[in-house]
């Protein structure tokens, strides 16, 4: 009973980090939520061997897989999501583009990292 608040917080984080990456990943194919290509660092876009649209679809697949990993192996998935969001934030900060999104991604990365740590006692 004493771990009930920890378990509730853990489950809230876990299912958030299952659902959100899957939804965001799927949206990379439809661009309903936003035009994801706008977040590609312009200096990096020229180095891609394919279009920004194809790149974002690849990103989408990675995000969907990350969400599934969080569901199946929460600790590992949490570390993957935290690392992924940190890389995304750093690429945005390098080009000083969408700094607000970069800061939010870093905060979300901290939440994913925290979820991974909590999973060792909550699952």
Q: Tens digits of per-residue pLDDT, 29-85?
A: 999 999 999 988 888 888 889 998 999 999 999 999 999 999 999 999 999 999 999
Is 123's pLDDT higher than 90? no
**Tokens 């974002």 correspond to what residue?**
56
Q: Which residues does 42 contact at the CB level (< 8 Å), separation at least 6?
A: 95, 97
Average pLDDT, the chain: 93
How many residues in total does the chain contain? Answer: 123
Is 2's pLDDT higher than 80? no
CA atoms within 13 A on the CB side of 84: 20
């Amino acid at each position: 009973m004493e771990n009930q608040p920890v378990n509730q917080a853990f489950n809230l984080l876990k299912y958030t980090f299952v659902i959100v990456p899957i939804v965001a990943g799927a949206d990379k194919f439809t661009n309903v939520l936003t035009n994801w290509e706008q977040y590609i660092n312009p200096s990096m876009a020229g180095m891609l061997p394919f279009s920004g649209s194809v790149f974002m679809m690849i990103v989408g697949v990675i995000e969907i897989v990350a969400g599934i990993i969080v569901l199946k192996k929460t600790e590992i998935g949490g570390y993957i999501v935290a690392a992924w969001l940190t890389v995304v934030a750093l690429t945005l900060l390098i080009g000083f583009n969408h700094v607000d999104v970069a800061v939010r991604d870093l905060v979300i990365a901290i939440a994913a990292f925290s979820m991974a740590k909590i999973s060792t006692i909550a699952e």
